[in-house]
């Protein structure tokens, strides 16, 4: 179930059918308890312009200094995100996706691999300029972000 609001800083409505999508509850619980490196809605304001610093604070890694910040648009289940983060431990990585399930799965994968340089956010990539100010990003990865045009829908 993708998010449907335009502003990434608006609170996420959790009055959705959690019985239809258990990842809504998982996301809400993990974000509140900080058991997974995830964030959405008004909490994103605390990160804008301070992503690397806030990721270091989340993982309590004062000895590690993250040198750059790479964003993956459409991180899906985090397979590529986790591999990049493992290959480049001195870089911070933020996975952006529009569904609760993908954000939770990506964050769980990063935690399972013991990475301390990954964070996942529930947001629409249309608003990257609001989430990441000028000169904050050192790289952007976009492979197949949703929604993409499908051949069978061209006629519509």
Contact indicator for 95, 118 with CB cutoff of 8 Å: yes
pLDDT at 96: 95
Q: Which residue has the tokens 């493992």?
A: 86
pLDDT at 149: 66
Contact indicator for 140, 71 with CB cutoff of 8 Å: yes
Note the pLDDT tens digit of each residue in 73-107. Answer: 999 999 999 999 999 999 999 999 999 999 999 99
Domain boundaries, the chain: 22-143
Of the pLDDT bands very low, low, confident and very high (cuts 50, 70, 90), residue 14 is low
The DSSP code sequence of 74-119 is S-TTSHHHHHHHHH-TTEEEEEEESBHHHHHHHHHHHHHTT-SSEE
Q: Which element (helix H / strand E) includes 93?
A: strand 91-97
Tell me which of 147 and 117 has the higher pLDDT: 117
Euclidean distance between the first and the last CA atom of the chain, given in angstroms as a whole number: 23
Tokens matching residue 129: 């300029």
Homologous superfamily assigned to 22-143: Vaccinia Virus protein VP39 (3.40.50.150)
pLDDT at 9: 84
Which residues have a catalytic role annotated?
146
Distance CA 66, CA 42 (A): 24
pLDDT at 16: 57
121 pLDDT more than 70 = yes
20 pLDDT more than 80 = no
Q: What is the pTM of this model?
A: 0.86
Note the pLDDT tens digit of each residue in 54-80. Answer: 999 999 876 678 999 999 999 999 999
pLDDT at 145: 59
Tokens matching residue 6: 């335009």
């Amino acid at each position: 179930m993708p998010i449907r609001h335009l502003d990434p800083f608006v609170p996420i409505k959790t009055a959705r059918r959690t019985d239809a999508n258990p990842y809504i509850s998982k996301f809400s619980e993990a974000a509140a308890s900080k058991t997974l490196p995830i964030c959405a809605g008004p909490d994103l304001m605390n990160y804008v312009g301070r992503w690397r610093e806030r990721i270091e604070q989340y993982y309590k890694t004062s000895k590690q200094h993250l040198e750059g910040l790479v964003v993956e648009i459409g991180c899906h289940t985090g397979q590529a995100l986790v591999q990049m983060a493992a290959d480049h431990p001195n870089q911070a990585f933020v996975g952006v996706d529009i569904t609760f399930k993908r954000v939770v799965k990506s964050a769980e994968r990063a935690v399972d691999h013991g990475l301390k340089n990954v964070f996942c956010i529930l947001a629409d990539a249309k608003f990257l300029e609001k989430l990441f100010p000028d000169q904050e990003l050192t790289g952007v990865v976009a492979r197949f972000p949703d929604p993409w045009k499908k051949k069978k829908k061209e006629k519509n």
